Amino acid sequence: MEEKKSNPIKAILYISIWVIIWGTLGSLIDYPLYKNKIYLEGSVYQYITFTITAIISIMGAKFFYKKFEL
């Protein structure tokens, strides 16, 4: 049986894309909360927002990684 070789460039690009998705998603959620003064910049709630979006992004990345066969 032939082993599947991983391509490090594809893996780096895949991770980079998910970091961009995480940052964009987190910022889109964070912006209205910050502008409406629901929480202040640098507060624990802002960290929670980005932590939750990071967890969602990691789950999405794991799910789609199997489908893309990198």
Q: Tell me what the mean pLDDT of segment 8-35 comes to.
A: 93
Please give the model's pTM, rounded to 2 decimal places: 0.78
Domain that holds residue 37: 8-68
In a domain, 15, yes or no: yes
Q: Specify if 30 maps to a domain.
A: yes
pLDDT category, 4, cuts 50, 70, 90? low
- Check pLDDT > 70 for residue 53: yes
Return d(Cα 43, Cα 62) in angstroms, integer. Answer: 29
Identify whether 51 is part of a domain: yes
Kindly state whether residue 3 falls inside one of the protein's structural domains.
no
Residue 40 CB partners (closer than 8 Å, separation 6+): 34, 46
Domains contained in the chain, number: 1
Would residue 2 count as lying in a domain?
Answer: no
| Cβ contacts of 69 within 8 Å, gap of 6 or more | 4
In a domain, 25, yes or no: yes
Q: Please give the average per-residue pLDDT across 44-62, as a whole number.
A: 94
pLDDT tens, position by position, 12-22: 999 999 999 99
Asked if residue 1 belongs to a domain, the reply is: no
